[in-house]
Structure 1
């Protein structure tokens, strides 16, 4: 297909298909790229430009416009990554001879430490569910698994019964980019999973031939939205006022491992991070925790002042 014949929408479709097929990106990541690039295409259309006929200054104006519209720095940085990746693809496929995103100004993000729960708060959350009901047993199994194994929500929703090794005490997880990893699972989580599979799940499956572990009451695979609702309901019942979302349990899993001496490489493998720098943020979380603990030292100024 020649440059003159290809439209911006065709380029976008071709690029997203490449990311899906060749790089195995998740549907959530593809949707994010698609949204960002739709905004970019709207900008180009308003300015009578096309994807293949832009200068670096045009892309800089696009990012400046996003900032002026009140987008957060993190959002603008994600917009930039989406556009940069698009042009890397076009250069690779010889649709362009020079990448207009070369030497774009780096958007520096302030490192935001993820909020995590204390071990007592985790205990409070796990005590909310009534294990005598089908819903309560399922919901507690979900919480146990998210906290004890640090799963992403999409990984949890896609988990199948055969991915659990009760004898080996591990889970086989297919994470981002369909990368497989093995994650240990503790006895407490295994026990409640076993009970859920042999009781509540038998009722929920409603005779359907589905192998997904967690189901809704229609017998279908539980959705990400369903997990969100369970987390929100559990938070309300627990009385914990933190802004907790499903990923908070993953953060808590990693933070508590680091606090109790787990090495960074092991945590990286369990979380499924391809780059250890992503995992390193939890060492900063632990450092923040330690700084709070030093306040308890009897020689800390706040204690010595009280003794004067």
Structure 2
């Protein structure tokens, strides 16, 4: 059933391989719960059973966003089974996701980003590649799945643009700054040719075996450079995306423009970055304005 569900996501819904893999992985957790409960008939999954499943996930240590995502995958799975006639009962819509705590995205400062970008040793082949990866992540505000799927042909050096395939296989145009273009040029003209295992390889960023660099490898790469640069241990690929949006808004960019550049389908998703900018503005104000802090006690002069 799961294999057919994966085929359905690929063909009927035309989801990317990355998204399909996430869906089927989330369904695998449900399969484990079914085995533990010794349930073989999916029609028996009533509201109580499904709520127990979510509670079980939380007990295992899954965070609320992950549990919510697994419920979304389960709803899609049950909808598919109902439409195909495999089951007659679907109560997944009767279960609500765990209430998510509102968390503001964490952005690095401009100085921290500059420190990170300067960390790779560009006298080495891997250093040139890694510098290009970091520059593109920050310059274009890409998700990790988007940068791993880039091909050489997606770059328009003259227009300073990238063709990006985002969530739901939606295409958008991302922009590249001069430092990112220089880093890409140095990588493509030198290092990439050394790494390419075969001339027909189209992937932009390659591993040491000449194949496409994986999302996990890029996540590990960013994490290692962040630690080497002395940044927050929780720094990850999405921190660069958060920083991209926050720095644009700090610079006066229109919210709708940032929404388009990030590939958000709803302005509400981008809106959260305005709160980050507001908080940063508040900190700057409190640290810098002479009348922001608690006034110092004034000692009366003898002339009064």
- If the TM-score is normalised by the length of the shorter chain, which range does it land in? 0.7 to 0.9
Q: Structure 1 residue 181: deviation in Å?
A: 0.7
Residue in 2 aligned with 1:88? Answer: 79
Residue in 2 aligned with 1:7? Answer: none
CA distance in 1, matches of 2:183, 2:297: 48
Match of 1:38 among 19, 24, 28: 28
CA distance in 2, matches of 1:289, 1:99: 46
| Secondary structure at the counterpart of residue 151 of structure 1 | coil
Aligned CA distance change for structure 1 residues 92 and 305 (closer, same or farther; 3 Å): farther
Aligned CA distance change for structure 1 residues 161 and 71 (closer, same or farther; 3 Å): closer
Residue in 2 aligned with 1:28? Answer: 18
CA distance in 2, matches of 1:201, 1:58: 52
Residue in 1 aligned with 2:147? Answer: 156
Where does 1:207-286 land on structure 2 (aligned, <5 Å)? 208-286=199-277
Q: Structure 1 residue 287: deviation in Å?
A: 2.0
Match of 1:15 among 5, 20, 23: 5
Residue in 2 aligned with 1:166? Answer: 157
Q: Structure 1 residue 261: deviation in Å?
A: 1.5
CA distance in 2, matches of 1:229, 1:99: 39
CA distance in 2, matches of 1:48, 1:126: 52
CA distance in 1, matches of 2:93, 2:213: 43
Runs of 4+ in 1 over 4 A off after TM superposition: 94-98
State the Cα deviation string for residues 60-92 of structure 1 (Å, max 9, x = none): 222233334444323322232222222233344
Contact 1:52 1:95 in 2 (8 A): no
Residue in 1 aligned with 2:183? Answer: 192
CA distance in 2, matches of 1:78, 1:205: 36
Aligned CA distance change for structure 1 residues 307 and 180 (closer, same or farther; 3 Å): farther
| Secondary structure at the counterpart of residue 291 of structure 1 | helix
Residue in 1 aligned with 2:114? Answer: 123
Match of 2:292 among 296, 300, 303: 300
Aligned CA distance change for structure 1 residues 147 and 48 (closer, same or farther; 3 Å): same
CA distance in 2, matches of 1:66, 1:152: 26
Query: Which 5+ residue runs of structure 1 have no aligned equivalent?
Result: 1-9
Root-mean-square deviation (Å): 2.3
CA distance in 2, matches of 1:161, 1:305: 60
Aligned CA distance change for structure 1 residues 145 and 92 (closer, same or farther; 3 Å): same
| Secondary structure at the counterpart of residue 282 of structure 2 | helix
Contact 1:169 1:186 in 2 (8 A): yes
Aligned CA distance change for structure 1 residues 290 and 93 (closer, same or farther; 3 Å): farther
1:138 partnered with 2:129: yes
| Secondary structure at the counterpart of residue 268 of structure 1 | helix
Contact 1:171 1:185 in 2 (8 A): yes
State the Cα deviation string for residues 214-263 of structure 1 (Å, max 9, x = none): 22233222222332332233223322234211221111111111111212
How many residues align? The count is 297
Query: Which 5+ residue runs of structure 2 have no aligned equivalent?
Result: 300-304
